[in-house]
Structure 1
Amino acid sequence: MRVISDLPGKNNGDDGFGGGGRSTTELTALLEQARNHVVIQSPYLVLTDEANALFEKLIQRGVTIQVSTNFLASTDNLPTSGGYRAHRKSLLKMGLNIYEYKPHAENQKQLMHRAQVMNWLLT
């Protein structure tokens, strides 16, 4: 396991979510080397077009991608939630295995499985 982080203020905001930084560079290099399985934990799942393309490439290569993130109602960042909500269906269709933290679960670590998310979206 490696921990990769950026210093605060690495992105002045001019590039929106595509500001890059050390984390972006190192994570991209690590993802490109993945052979079987990738596990990502991110409180805010908003991907750039480049990230989507990389994930599609990995999935086509047979790499399983598992992401745990906040459920829409369990975050205080509304702009990010809106960005995630707009792309959630396409991420699931692409083949990402998404697990979402529920906002009011008895056990706050209880996760929602991808199939449950799909059922929720269809109802």
Structure 2
Amino acid sequence: MKFEDAVEAADEATVRSMLAADPGLRDRHGDLVTRMAEARAWPAVRLLVELGFDVNGVTAAGATALHHAAAAGELAITRLLVEHGADHTATEPGFEARPAGWARYFKKPEVREYLESLS
């Protein structure tokens, strides 16, 4: 099984085993939290965050996992990302918007209010 497949399946035992065998996987997959958030694979996002993966990676378009969680209205994931150091002030270049702006645009008021309360 490929590492990314195990992550996407949120197969914690396999992911932990693969990381133990090859700790460099974490460095080689620095944007994996963001890619899983972009795919709305929330159990995978939660697993990666809990395993200490970078929460501030960006997609090719410059969006973070927090942007994607905010757009989806995923308050629990949004909080998890922030609690693990996600930058709620990160601005993606396409729309020059922060995660709260994405929540506003996608009409996710609960997430928008939470993110705006952090400023």
TM-score, normalising length: structure 2:
0.38
* TM-score, normalised relative to structure 1: 0.37
Determine which structure has more spread, i.e. the larger CA radius of gyration.
Answer: 1
Identify the structure with the greater helix proportion: 2
